[in-house]
Amino acid sequence: DIVMNQSPDSLAVSLGQRATINCKSSQSLLSSFTNQNYLAWYQQKPGQPPKLLIYWASTRESGVPDRFSGSGSGTDFTLTISSLQAEDVAVYHCQQYYTSPLTFGGGTRVEIK
């Protein structure tokens, strides 16, 4: 199984500042056939189910604010919130869909400093 490791486990960021979350996979998620990275990011607010933010490592889902961006390739990926808003307090999860079983990182909690 592909193991997904997220860091940090939690971070506190001031309003308007940048938040950076890292996700590392135990094997490459880059397909030589499609030249795509098989990685998605989700946001989970307290008491709610996860919500899709990004797929193909950097494609923002429709309706997701452009302060959220994804980057990276191969085994190392990053989710960046460029200017943290109060409504961004949540746990963020990365997920690989390169191969079955689909696997998730352990999550990163983002709070306001």
> Footprint of other proteins on this chain (CB under 8 A)?
1, 38, 40, 42, 49-52, 55, 61, 93, 95, 97, 100-107
Give me the residues paired with residue 112 across strands. Answer: 13
**Measured from the CB of residue 74, what is the shortest distance to other proteins in angstroms?**
18
**Measured from the CB of residue 52, what is the shortest distance to other proteins in angstroms?**
4
Residue 83 or 99 with smaller CB distance to other proteins: 99
**Measured from the CB of residue 39, what is the shortest distance to other proteins in angstroms?**
9
The DSSP annotation for 25-86 comes to ESS--B-TTT--B-EEEEEE-TTS--EEEEETTTEEPTT--TTEEEEEETTEEEEEESS--G
Residue 16 or 104 with smaller CB distance to other proteins: 104
| CA dist., res. 106 & res. 54, Å (int) | 17
Residue 78 or 104 with smaller CB distance to other proteins: 104
Terminal Cα-to-Cα distance of the chain (whole angstroms): 36
